[in-house]
Amino acid sequence: MKNRIKELRETMGLTQEQLGELVGVSRQAIIAIENERFEPSIWLAYDICRIFESTIEEVFIFEESERKSRAEKSRGDIVEKRAL
């Protein structure tokens, strides 16, 4: 999931390690989120947004992803099987 964490973090003068400490995760977790390799839980996303005094929509950019598309396809397959 795309996000503005790095931009907002740097604007506040926070390191990845400092942000991680503020929200209770490792520096590596912050790196993975910033690089879109990991999608945070809703609770972690909420905590990150509170640090930046921003809404989730201001920090995270929700676009349809391949991951979401696979989940929707899977649900569609289940619905089709039930119909048979």
| Prediction pTM value | 0.74
- Whole-number pLDDT of residue 4: 97
Domain count, the chain: 1
- Whole-number pLDDT of residue 62: 84
Residue listed under structure tokens 């509170």? 50
CATH number at residue 71: 1.10.260.40
Sign (positive or negative) of CA dihedral 25, 53, 37, 17: negative
- Whole-number pLDDT of residue 1: 87
- What is the extent of the structural domain holding 6? 2-83
Rounded CA-CA distance 77/71 in Å is: 10
Collect the ranges in the chain with pLDDT lower than 70. 64-84
